Amino acid sequence: MRKLYVLIVLAFSANLLPAQTIITDPILLGPYCPGQPISIPFTAIGTFETGNVYTAVLSDAFGNFNFSTPIGFLDSNQPSGVIVGLIPFGTMPGTLYQIQVISSLPFVIGSPSPVNIEVAGSPTA
């Protein structure tokens, strides 16, 4: 009876896990200036289709993704990579920015970066 219970629990638990997951790996804290490139490493788990595009998005200054801004793209179906993004000109200074990676085929919203990044003011001459 105990073996049957373990098999049922394992089968039920396996169905709770998503088929694909994207983990945004740690990003250097910065500070970054608007217009500056940023490297966004990520790990994708599962199968992603040919033609997939990974997109890195930047949160608002408070870490919310409701109106996120795409900052970089990578055409790939590989399970990991680095997206080279660009902090958009006009980004307000702040220390609570987050980045996450989204895939297109299938559509998966990845986890936010485990640390906030800082965006400084625009450089002056």
Quote the CA–CA distance of 113 and 116 in Å, as a whole number: 7
Confidence of residue 121 (pLDDT cuts 50, 70, 90): confident
| pLDDT for 11 | 43
Residue-wise pLDDT tens digits, 54-72: 999 999 999 999 999 999 9
Residue-wise pLDDT tens digits, 68-118: 999 999 999 999 999 999 999 999 999 999 999 999 999 999 999 999 999
**pTM higher than the cut 0.85:** no
Query: Letter for the amino acid at 13?
Result: S
- 87 Cβ contact partners less than 8 Å away, ≥ 6 residues apart: 32, 33, 34, 35, 36, 37, 38, 58, 71, 119
| pLDDT for 12 | 46
| pLDDT for 29 | 83
Residue-wise pLDDT tens digits, 38-59: 999 999 999 999 999 999 999 9
Residue 30 φ then ψ, to 5°: 95, -155
